[in-house]
């Protein structure tokens, strides 16, 4: 046999445990988890981070990360993170929340945390439905979108309009960095990672509240293959939920990020 140069191009992030996740095949929760773990590893903050898990599909997120974690009541993760951060201000705190958790049940808590300029980072997964309970209508469900609780398609006359969370929170002075990214393709994922890095750096440097909304796919509840789900996201979600930076405070725009 001839000698070949072996180069590691892919390995498990140091911030993960050895467990296999319970997420459905094709789901982008795994991608989002990995990006968080990679960013915290690159920042050297793995041992200094405390996560707050939501109620929803990511309820067991704490099993997959190997740093300290707490599990919040539905929607209350930003309040719980506030309690921890104010008690241990030297720690890096993040909440990981879905759209039912953050934009429906927990809208009060997220708006209050952002307006206080709470020094926490929020990773917000928008997949336009309630994943864990089987695909019901969420605040993010698109007009006309069929779900198990809007079987004829979301009728905006009786069921209202979707909430653009990133744009909404960007109006608050306490929010230093608010961005939306997508996880449906490789370019989107690379951009998402950079935004997550920025969000954590904002916290580390004490510049205020930061949130990254991640457009995600839910092949199981959408009833689509992974490929078709990605395409559906691009065709239907991106026009309604544009990718972009909705709030970059002056301090954040002048911020220097080491590495990356």
**Which positions lie near another protein, rule CB under 8 A?**
17, 50, 52-53, 59-60, 62-63, 65-73, 76, 79-88, 91, 108-109, 111-112, 116
Helix (H) or strand (E) holding 200: helix 186-204
Angle between helices 77-87 and 107-115 (to 10 degrees): 40
Name which of 66 and 231 has its Cβ closer to another protein. Answer: 66
The answer to whether 169 and 211 are in contact (CB under 8 A) is yes
CB of residue 108 to another protein, shortest distance in Å = 6
Quick one: 46 or 212, whose CB is closer to another protein?
Answer: 46
User: Closest distance between another protein and the C-beta of residue 24, in Å?
Assistant: 17
Nearest-approach distance from CB 153 to another protein, in angstroms:
33
The minimum distance between CB 86 and another protein, in angstroms, equals 4
CB of 219 to another protein, least distance (A): 24
Tell me whether residue 64 or residue 222 sits nearer to another protein (CB atom). 64
Helix ranges (H only) for 3-146 are 29-42, 77-87, 99, 107-115
3-state secondary structure of 159: helix
Closest CB to another protein among residues 109, 213: 109
Which of 80/183 has CB closer to another protein?
80
CB atoms within 10 A of CB 233: 26
| Cβ-based neighbours of 72, under 8 Å, separated by 6 or more | 52, 53, 54, 55, 79, 80, 95
């Amino acid at each position: 046999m001839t000698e070949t140069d072996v180069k590691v191009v892919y390995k498990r992030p140091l911030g993960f445990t050895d467990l296999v996740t319970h997420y459905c095949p094709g789901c982008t929760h795994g991608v989002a988890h990995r990006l968080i773990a990679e960013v915290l590893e690159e920042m050297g903050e793995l041992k200094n981070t405390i996560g707050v898990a939501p109620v929803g599909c990511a309820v067991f997120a704490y099993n997959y990360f190997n740093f300290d974690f707490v599990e919040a009541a539905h929607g209350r993760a930003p309040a719980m993170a506030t309690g921890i951060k104010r008690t241990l201000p030297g720690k890096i705190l993040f909440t990981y929340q879905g759209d039912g958790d953050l934009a429906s049940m927990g809208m009060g808590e997220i708006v209050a945390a952002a307006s206080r300029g709470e020094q926490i980072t929020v990773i917000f997964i928008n997949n336009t439905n309630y994943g864990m309970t089987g695909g019901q209508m969420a605040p993010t469900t698109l007009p006309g979108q069929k779900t198990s609780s809007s079987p004829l398609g979301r009728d905006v006359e009786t069921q209202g309009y979707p909430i653009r969370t990133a744009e909404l929170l960007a109006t608050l002075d306490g929010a230093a960095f608010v961005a939306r990214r997508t996880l449906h393709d490789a370019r989107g994922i690379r951009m998402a990672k950079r935004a997550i890095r920025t969000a954590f750096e904002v916290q580390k440097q004490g510049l205020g509240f930061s949130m990254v909304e991640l457009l995600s796919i839910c092949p199981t509840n959408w009833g689509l293959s992974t490929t078709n789900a990605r395409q559906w996201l691009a065709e239907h979600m991106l026009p309604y939920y544009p990718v972009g930076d909705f709030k970059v405070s002056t301090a954040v725009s002048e911020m220097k990020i080491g590495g990356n």
